[in-house]
A and B are shown apart, each in its own frame.
Chain A
Amino acid sequence: MHDVTYTYPEAEQPALVDVQLQVPEGAWVLLQGPTGSGKSTLLKCLTGACPEFYGGRLAGRVTVAGFDTAAWSPAQRAAAIGYVAQDPEAVAVYDVVEREVAFALENLGVPRSEMAWRVAEALEMVGLSAHARDSVETLSGGARQRLALAGALVHQPRVLLLDEPASQLDPVAADELLDCLQRLHQDFGLTLLIAEHRLDALYPRVDTVAYLEAGRIRKTAPPQEMAEWLREERPDQVPLLARLFPEHAPVLTVHAVRQRLAEAVSPRPTAAAEAAEAAEAAAPRSATDAAGFAGAEPIRTERVRVHYRGARDAALDRLTATIARNRLTAVIGPNGSGKTTLLRVLAGLQPPDGGRVVWPGRAGGRLRVGYLPQKPSDLFSQLTIRDELAYGLELQGVPRRDAAARVADAALRFDLTSQMERSPRDVSGGEQVRVAIASLWLTSPDILLLDEPTRGLDAAQKRGLGEMLAGLEGVTVVLVTHDLEFVAEHAGQVLFLYRGEVVLSGAPKQVFDKALAFAPLFARAFRGVDPSVHCLSDAVRAGWGR
């Protein structure tokens, strides 16, 4: 990209400003930056969607292999560039997997005799050969994203662009996808540009990182050098592991952290260790401590059973759990273990086939529940954030004047005052979560149920979400998540589900001391060295990081 400046139609400010980026053939480049920094727009300029599809003004030149893409027809661009979007569910055209993969070939007019082997190769590359005749609808989220990848690879493009391809996936599926990309990069020499927030997973894999901010590329460097620069210039954007050992070169993998610990390059400072032990002793981190259970009567599920019609196994199988009030309980476990079903039972959306949920009494009736779905925008129906916040109150019959005052209060509390006249669907992912939680909070819930609220959020947004949830006094939060770093950092109690029952529970420390695969990065890195470290704040407290 040579001095590319792009402005969306009717926008006052350009989304990209003087972008200069050179990607050598066969390189893997990570586009990093806060939400709204222009990563997606940069990729859209490369695909030609900006300005051909979106309109707007583009200055500068985009070239692929020395050819100016502006002079290319859409077919020529499609032949040279493969593109994978964020949401795999929204981009499927056909119903059958192999037909969906062949879509680009059909568009490019590839002869029928050439199609079959190309489709077979693309499916094999992403590990979906066994699903060639399946319906796209029957695939899991991870498999659907790999299908999108196969669809982008089938015509053997020179460059593959990926716009937050793992943002809608759980960590297991995301790792599978990134492994797949690594193979494509290493074994087939494909040139890759990826915009993504999973920095810890990508830093060890990519060749180069380009950091964007406000539409400009601030720095382009290899991962190690970039991590060092970020530590000095943008500390909130540093990958988690690179925050350790601040006096030394950044480490990017769990293996490297363990090696450094073994070599005792950075022995644990005695004063810091003492402070850490004192802080640990003082911290109310145990779910079984007095604060959770004695302060307010807990919510209990007793032998709850849910069996969906036609399913072989029960989604919840005599699940018994105690959920502490007024704190954050995280529900973790593999896919299909019954996490979302438990949330639906607590929300009252799924009546149990057996057992019961014991709700503590509340003055004036049963507990009020707020439910945040995986996609917060599903809750939005109004044109502005102000109307969106007011909607729930109006439906509850709150007088308009009172509603306006409460909406203003919520806007202040959730830091939405400057966004009130914007559409809730146009703001960033983190802001959408904030709007959704604010609108639920306005209806005075006693218990807030959140389904994968950190999906697609960058590090700063996750931290903001954690602080916001911690600030909800008197509200019990139950969240289903695969984000174990978030759980270790913010949860007070963890329920580990497997095949519809709770197989492990307790405070994060208790659970993550035992679990291996279901443990956050820091717990894995410090296992056997410093058992007090489970998350970044633990590491900072113990003097390992900054």
Chain B
Amino acid sequence: MGLSPVGSEHGEGLMSGWSGRHRYRRKARETHPVTWLVAMAAWVWAVYRLQSLSALAAYAALGVGLQALLNRDPLGRRVLMRALSAAFAAAAMVALFALVSALFADGGRVWWRGPHIPGLGTLQLTSSGVALGLSRALRIWGLLLGVAAWASHVRPDDVTVWLGRRFARAGLTLAMIFTFLPTVRREYQRLGEYVRTRTGLDAIRSRRARLRAMGVILQALLANALERSWILAESMYVRGYSAQGRSRYRQTRWSAVDAVFAGALAAALAAALTAALVARSSSAGGVAEHPTVQGAVSVFLWCILCGLGVVARVGGRDA
């Protein structure tokens, strides 16, 4: 009938139930974009709510794990190696951030006192300063690692699902911008190479010449972008984009796993929010900077966050 190759895409091995672990790669089920959105909300919310140092450390470790699981590795390393690599990098950044943060914090037992820096105060290491610096560092790096892993995994088209039918055109515009940006980045690099070869690889020595070359690259980049936008706009017009009454193609089905996962996350969020509101109303007006998540809610949340990694691994897109 068509032009597709004859024969099963899955292969006889998979169809007969034998996966041959090292020979066949599991075809991943697609996670619904809404599930990803809820997962991100939970991740951001958790960083705001978690308080204890051990919880934050686990949170950052989970961020490292997500990085290793979700991100494609240009060097083709195995998950464990990728996790170790991400962990070392994250540990270095956390240590640096924690040290800088701790040096300017007060309170607790003083371990070391350094010189006075005008405008910043006296450098010192204290017990509570180190604890505060470490918690801040784990919080920020856990958040960044998780968000980075998430951002590299969702697709630009997911934005159109998040914004729904009501904001379909805005969603499409955003999706196109997200698709467009990596193209522009690659093109910038390519144009830079052309300018270098055109002027002689070693010709651009002076700062003025370098600035001029940069200007040329940006000019060409702009001209290319305008040209491409015009062609795209014409193509969209010809395909009926200006017509009224758009419908939407369903790219990913809402599955039972999505329902369980997103529902559990949403329930955890709601429960924790309720707990926070109860704690706030029972306190004498003061609200802690980072109210602690208590008891069962905390355990439940941690189960969900760990589940995130598992679902992402099993149901991710070419994870």
Does A259 have its Cβ within 8 Å of any Cβ on chain B?
no
A395 touches which of B74, B203, B242 (Cβ 8 Å): B203
Q: A108-B243, A125-B2 are in contact. Are A96 and B235 (CB under 8 A)?
A: no
B247 touches which of A78, A93, A111, A310 (Cβ 8 Å): A111
Does A79 have its Cβ within 8 Å of any Cβ on chain B?
yes
> What mask results when residues 167 to 206 of chain B are scored 1 for a CB within 8 Å of chain A, else 0?
0000010011001001000000011011011111101100
Does B236 have its Cβ within 8 Å of any Cβ on chain A?
yes
Does B18 have its Cβ within 8 Å of any Cβ on chain A?
no
**9-residue interface stretch from B211-219, B259-267, B276-284:** B211-219
Cβ B172 vs Cβ A115 within 8 A = no
Cβ B251 vs Cβ A124 within 8 A = no
Cβ B194 vs Cβ A371 within 8 A = yes
Cβ A133 vs Cβ B179 within 8 A = no
Cβ B194 vs Cβ A379 within 8 A = yes
Complex Cα distance, B193 from A89, in Å, reads: 21
Contacts of B204 in A (CB 8 A): 395
Complex Cα distance, B73 from A309, in Å, reads: 10
Complex Cα distance, B250 from A105, in Å, reads: 12
Does A377 have its Cβ within 8 Å of any Cβ on chain B?
yes
> What mask results when residues 149 to 187 of chain A are scored 1 for a CB within 8 Å of chain B, else 0?
001100000000000000000000000000010010000
Contacts of A92 in B (CB 8 A): 179
Contacts of B231 in A (CB 8 A): 85, 87, 90-91
Closest to A74 in B: B242
Cβ B243 vs Cβ A78 within 8 A = yes
Does A83 have its Cβ within 8 Å of any Cβ on chain B?
yes
Cβ B246 vs Cβ A109 within 8 A = yes
A371 touches which of B30, B197, B244, B251 (Cβ 8 Å): B197
Contacts of B112 in A (CB 8 A): none
Contacts of A378 in B (CB 8 A): 190-191, 194, 220, 224
Does B15 have its Cβ within 8 Å of any Cβ on chain A?
no
**9-residue interface stretch from A45-53, A322-330, A484-492, A498-506:** A45-53
Cβ A105 vs Cβ B4 within 8 A = no
Does B248 have its Cβ within 8 Å of any Cβ on chain A?
yes
Cβ A127 vs Cβ B200 within 8 A = no
Contacts of A115 in B (CB 8 A): 247, 249-250
Contacts of A124 in B (CB 8 A): 1-4
Cβ B74 vs Cβ A309 within 8 A = yes
Complex Cα distance, B223 from A106, in Å, reads: 30
Cβ B238 vs Cβ A47 within 8 A = yes
Does B106 have its Cβ within 8 Å of any Cβ on chain A?
no
B229 to chain A, nearest CB (A): 9
Does A13 have its Cβ within 8 Å of any Cβ on chain B?
no
Complex Cα distance, B178 from A94, in Å, reads: 10
Does B20 have its Cβ within 8 Å of any Cβ on chain A?
no
Complex Cα distance, B198 from A382, in Å, reads: 14
Complex Cα distance, B215 from A391, in Å, reads: 12
B111 to chain A, nearest CB (A): 44
Contacts of A419 in B (CB 8 A): none
Complex Cα distance, B239 from A47, in Å, reads: 9
Complex Cα distance, B170 from A3, in Å, reads: 41
Closest to B243 in A: A75
Does B162 have its Cβ within 8 Å of any Cβ on chain A?
no
Does B209 have its Cβ within 8 Å of any Cβ on chain A?
yes
Does B25 have its Cβ within 8 Å of any Cβ on chain A?
no
A180 touches which of B3, B233, B234 (Cβ 8 Å): B3
Does A107 have its Cβ within 8 Å of any Cβ on chain B?
yes
Cβ B2 vs Cβ A93 within 8 A = no
B245 to chain A, nearest CB (A): 4
Most A CB contacts (10 A, CB to CB) among B193, B203, B235 go to B235
Complex Cα distance, B74 from A98, in Å, reads: 26
Complex Cα distance, B247 from A380, in Å, reads: 41
Cβ A377 vs Cβ B240 within 8 A = no
Does B289 have its Cβ within 8 Å of any Cβ on chain A?
no
Does A285 have its Cβ within 8 Å of any Cβ on chain B?
no
Complex Cα distance, B247 from A106, in Å, reads: 5
Complex Cα distance, B228 from A87, in Å, reads: 9
A450 to chain B, nearest CB (A): 12
Complex Cα distance, B231 from A96, in Å, reads: 20
Cβ A107 vs Cβ B201 within 8 A = no
B204 to chain A, nearest CB (A): 7
Contacts of B254 in A (CB 8 A): none
Cβ B246 vs Cβ A395 within 8 A = no
B203 touches which of A53, A380, A396 (Cβ 8 Å): A396
Complex Cα distance, B236 from A53, in Å, reads: 11
Does A368 have its Cβ within 8 Å of any Cβ on chain B?
yes
Closest to A105 in B: B249
Contacts of B227 in A (CB 8 A): 90, 377, 425
Cβ A373 vs Cβ B190 within 8 A = yes
A58 to chain B, nearest CB (A): 16
A-B CB contact pairs (8 Å), 21 listed: A49-B234, A52-B237, A53-B237, A73-B243, A83-B239, A90-B228, A95-B155, A95-B175, A95-B179, A96-B157, A96-B251, A106-B246, A115-B249, A124-B4, A133-B317, A310-B76, A371-B194, A373-B190, A392-B198, A395-B204, A397-B209
By a beta-carbon cutoff of 8 Å, the part of chain A in contact with chain B is 47-49, 52-53, 73-75, 77-79, 81, 83, 85, 87, 90-96, 98-99, 102-112, 115-116, 119, 123-130, 133, 135, 137, 151-152, 180, 183, 309-310, 347-349, 368-371, 373, 377-382, 391-392, 395-397, 425, 439-440, 443
Q: A129-B4, A378-B220 are in contact. List 5 more A-B contacts (CB 8 A).
A: A74-B237, A107-B241, A373-B190, A396-B200, A396-B203
